[in-house]
Amino acid sequence: MMSSWKPAIGRLLSSLETRLVGALALIVVATVLLQVVTQREAFGLRHEGEALVHASAIAENADQFAEAVGKLRMATNRGLVASDDTADELTDAAIAIGDRLGKLRNSGMALYDLPEASDPFADLDKHIAAILEIQSRHNAGQGLIDRIEARNNAMAGLAARIVERAHAEREAAQRRLVASIGRWQMLVLGTGLVTILIVSLVLFDILRNILPAVRRMHGSLQRLANGDLDIEIGSFRLKELKDLSGPLETFRRNAKAVKNLAFSDPATGLPNRRAFQEDVTWLFSAAPDRRFACMLIDIDRFKHINDDYGHAAGDDLVRLIGARLKANLGDGSIVARVGGDEFAVCIEMAEGESATVLASRLTDSVRTPFSLGEYSVAITASIGVAEVEASDEADIDEILRNADMALYASKKNGRNSATGFAPQMAEERAVDRALEKDLETAFERGELRMVYQPIHPVSDTVQEVEALVRWKHPDLGEVPPSTFIPAAERSGQMVRLGEWIIRRALADFARWPDMTMSINLSPLQLQHDGFSAFLLDACGRHGIAPQRLFLEVTESLSIERNTRALLTLNLLRNLGFRIALDDFGTGYSSLSMVKSFKFDRMKLDRSLVMDLGQDPASVAVLEAAVTMARHVGAEVVAEGISEAHLIDATKGAGCTHLQGYFYSQPIEADEVPHYFAVEPDMRSEVA
């Protein structure tokens, strides 16, 4: 039976509402009980008090009655013995006896339940008259005197017993009153102690159990409201708090998950840009006046990794890069992924340590190939470094902007390097931004033009030019392609520029029906939907057969895993266009690209040609590249022929075409027919 009650009691006491309501109910019951007991005993005390007053009045009347009887006896005795005149005294005593006797009767005191058979106070006036008669006769008989004395004695005895009884009743009333007072005190004390005990237990429960739990819950709510999601809500025995703690814990976990999503990069688990800024701000406030290095690290040509190996491999790569950076910098550093291929780093610098030297070590560390399952990928990174002295006033956004400008300088200087921020970089960046903006209006203002550099065959008479774009800026003059082509790629104008080049070059090419032309394509053009249709439409408008065009793509395209680029090139080749690989022999993907796609022509990078005659190994490298290209049936163009001694070396290696300033710089479209009119002289140089 007891075991069945325990769970019910436990459930009952587990509720805060039940405990508080129960506690208040007990206090109210105890208070009401105390009030009832107090009122009941107060009524009893008043009754006992009134009874004592009444008994005391009776006792006082009884005393006065006995005193009157005593005076009557004394007056009677004096008159009988000394024959004194006591008539007045006897009369007064008789009147007093009658008066007190009446009061005793009116008080309700039973006077006649005593042993006497008759009332000694009946006909008291006759008794007084008999006494006075005896006193006046002086010779009254002894019998009459004996009767008078006997009656006086009877009255005295009865009066004594009445007094005794009245005093006994008064003493009984006093005892009852004292007992009532004692009982009232005990009941009030007991009830008060029970009430105090209940209040003490309730107060103890509130102070020991309820308030700490409520404070703990309040503290958890306050910390949650302040954004602290690393707390533990904990468990509560009180039902209401327990019911609240569950949803709060769910909210905390969900909020932490949301915060992790908002403050961390899902691919790497590293902090994101927002978290990096907050962490660095906190770090600077916690370590004032210390020197820190903030870096932005960008993976060079990361887009090609995604194109070659897929986005899943790209995600694996950035995760491995982040882990390697963290391992190299240690736990005291903050490493975050702030973009698709960009990382941010903040680390405290030791005394005398150079931030640029540390960044250079990082560039060396990321060059070690990464294993992506069946692939091993080698990458390079560009780093921008901004050194700062920590303080509460440090502007994290400005620091990142400085690091970004230094990163931009690293990219501009050929990538795979680390550059420290310098104030003049802001001016250079502003110039580049202005250049990107000016490029937007260069199309409409007619600042762009096409020039053409001849390509000379070694063994036939085919006339060919390479179409090259030039930009004459109204303020800066001639801007080299190495400057504005990257600007077009950065500003998202490369596709537009590529389409303008094709339209303008084909319009000029239509005037030279017996010639062949090479046009450079940007990797972004091959990724652009509808490029093949656009190129065919442009050729159709100008009546140009696809077979007359060489489309040059750079080795940096890396089409081995780039499905879209490979499909586009195959489609263009099937349509009759001839495909050339530019800058052949310098990049990591040369062999894989030759294996993946059948190129019609390979254009050797000018670095393979310009070192001929200076470095004996350069001849072997050139011959190996030419042999590989000729082995797959491709023509080979040697660029950078700037001096006569390079002609025999390149021809001897097996090159089929030569191009360079030794023959001609790029010329305007109107000069092309005249150039080839005197071409036999050039042919003799080639032969």
Second CATH level (architecture) for the domain 445-686? Alpha-Beta Barrel (3.20)
Q: Is the pLDDT of residue 95 over 90?
A: no
Rounded CA gap, 59 and 61, in Å?
5
- Please indicate, yes or no, whether the overall pTM of this predicted structure exceeds 0.85: no
Residue identified by tokens 């005391």 is 56
Mean predicted confidence (pLDDT) in 484-512: 91
- Return the higher-pLDDT residue of 28 and 135: 28
What is d(CA 603, CA 640) in angstroms, rounded to the nearest whole number? 11
Q: Label residue 198 by pLDDT band (50, 70, 90).
A: confident
d(CA 381, CA 376): 16
* 502 vs 119: which has the higher pLDDT: 502
Tokens of 485: 């082509």
Decide if 264-422 and 445-686 have a common fold: no
46-50, 131-135, 392-396, 456-460: the lowest-pLDDT one:
131-135
Q: Which residue reads 């769970």 in tokens?
A: 7
Cβ atoms within 10 Å of 50's Cβ, excluding its own? 12
- Indicate the range of 185-189, 568-572, 574-578 predicted with least confidence: 185-189
DSSP string, 276-302: HHHHHHHHHHHSTT-EEEEEEEEETTH
Average pLDDT, the chain: 82
**pLDDT tens-digit readout, 291-330:** 999 999 999 878 777 766 778 888 888 899 999 999 999 8
Highest mean pLDDT among 91-105, 191-205, 345-359: 345-359
Residue 617 confidence (pLDDT): 77
pLDDT band at 681 (very low <50, low <70, confident <90, very high): low
Q: Of all residues in the chain, what percent carry a pLDDT higher than 70? A: 89
Integer Cα distance of 568 and 144 in angstroms? 167
What are phi and psi for residue 530, nearest 5 degrees?
A: 85, 10
More confident position, 617 or 7:
617
Residue position matching structure tokens 């479209």: 669
- For residue 385, the model assigns a pLDDT of 94
If you average pLDDT over residues 206-224, what whole number do you get? 81
Question: Does residue 587 contact residue 597 with C-beta atoms inside 8 Å?
Answer: no
DSSP structure string for 375-439: EEE---EEEEEEEEE--TT--HHHHHHHHHHHHHHHHHTTSS-EEE--THHHHHHHHHHHHHHHH
Higher local confidence (pLDDT), 653 or 15 = 653
- Report the candidate in 64, 63, 93 with the shortest Cα–Cα distance to residue 78: 93
* Cα 421 off chain centre by: 34
Q: Please report the pLDDT score of residue 343 as a whole number.
A: 93
591 pLDDT tier (thresholds 50, 70, 90)? low
Query: What's the pLDDT band for 79 if we cut at 50, 70, 90?
Result: low
Percent of the chain with pLDDT over 90: 24
The answer to whether 71 and 128 have CB atoms below 8 angstroms apart is: no
> What amino acid occupies position 93?
A
The rounded distance, in Å, linking the Cα atoms of 633 and 36 is: 119
> Distance from first CA to last CA of the chain, Å, rounded?
118
Q: How far apart are CA 503 and CA 499, in angstroms?
A: 6
Confidence of residue 264 (pLDDT cuts 50, 70, 90): confident
**What residue segments make up the domains of the chain, in order of their start?**
10-208, 264-422, 445-686
* Furthest-apart CA atoms within the chain: distance in Å: 207
The span from the CA of 553 to the CA of 260, in Å, is 42
pLDDT band at 82 (very low <50, low <70, confident <90, very high): low
User: What does the pLDDT read at residue 344?
Assistant: 94
Which range has highest mean pLDDT (175-179, 246-250, 429-433, 636-640)? 636-640
What CA–CA distance (Å, rounded) separates 347 from 334?
Answer: 6
Homologous superfamily (CATH) of 264-422 is: Reverse transcriptase/Diguanylate cyclase domain (3.30.70.270)
State the pLDDT at residue 117: 38
Q: Which residue has the higher pLDDT, 114 or 641?
A: 641
529 contact partners, CB below 8 Å, separation of at least 6: none
User: Distance (Å, rounded) from C-alpha 111 to C-alpha 132?
Assistant: 27
Across 24-37, average pLDDT: 81
Q: Looking at the predicted structure, is the pLDDT value of residue 470 above 90?
A: yes
Least confident segment among 219-223, 227-231, 606-610: 227-231
Please list, in sequence order, all residues whose beta carbon lies within 8 angstroms of the beta carbon of residue 373, skipping any fewer than 6 positions away.
Answer: 313, 316
Contacts of 578 (CB under 8 A, 6+ apart): 547, 549, 550, 551, 600, 601
- Most confident option among 52-66, 87-101, 342-356, 508-522: 508-522
- Helix ranges (DSSP H) in 443-581: 481-490, 494-509, 523-527, 531-542, 563-574
Across the strands, what pairs with 419? 384
Under a CB-based contact definition with an 8 Å cutoff, are residues 588 and 376 in contact? no
